[in-house]
Amino acid sequence: MSTADIILITGNMASGKSSVAQALAERLPKSVHLRGDLFRRMIVNGRAEMSSELSDEAARQLQLRYDLAVETAKRYADAGFTVVYQDIVIGATLGAVAAAFHPYRLAVVVLCPRADVVAARDQQRAKTGYASRAEVDAFDGVLRRETPPIGYWLDNSVLTLDQTVDAILAYLEQTEPC
């Protein structure tokens, strides 16, 4: 089993984060699936919308969301749970969020399916996250060009959910967490 206290599953919208994080948590003996977006959805009035170009208020709310998730993950880890924290943490922010987990043992998994796969998955979902294919490509550019190469990058374009989780578990068993 994983020696990580906290496993961060990240990637763009429609990369499979929610499904993968839930399936991974279900295969760990004592685990929590922490959904970062939950903190955004808790804001009733005044919620800033997230997009590829963040307003100052959206950036502030996004940082608050990360801070709350990090603290919540630590509390669950302190209680003996392996935390599978799922959120969109891309660009330079990934390094800062990963550093915020110190001294906890963190494993980072970046789901990075091809942009065409993300676009197709987004169209099949009830909740679409992208306004256009150009926005899919913009987020893909941030992921691939601006996100530091931290952790395990997994192209799950053609993998089933079980294959993706199997690959992550194999990675966790052979890798020492940060």
* Residue closest to 151 by CA, chosen among 111, 92, 103, 104: 111
Domain containing 77: what range? 6-174
Q: Is residue 10 part of a domain?
A: yes
Give the model's pLDDT for residue 1.
Answer: 47
* Residue closest to 118 by CA, chosen among 8, 15, 48: 15
Q: Is residue 1 part of a domain?
A: no
Give the pLDDT confidence of 99-157 residue by residue, as tens digits.
999 999 999 999 999 999 999 999 998 877 888 999 999 999 999 999 999 999 999 99
Say if CB 101 and CB 24 are below 8 A apart: no
Percent of the chain beyond pLDDT 70?
97
Give the model's pLDDT for residue 127.
Answer: 77
Query: Tokens standing for 136?
Result: 């899919």
Q: How many domains are there within the chain?
A: 1
The amino acid occupying position 151 is G
Domain of 59: which CATH number? 3.40.50.300
Please state, rounded to an integer, the average pLDDT across all residues of the chain: 93
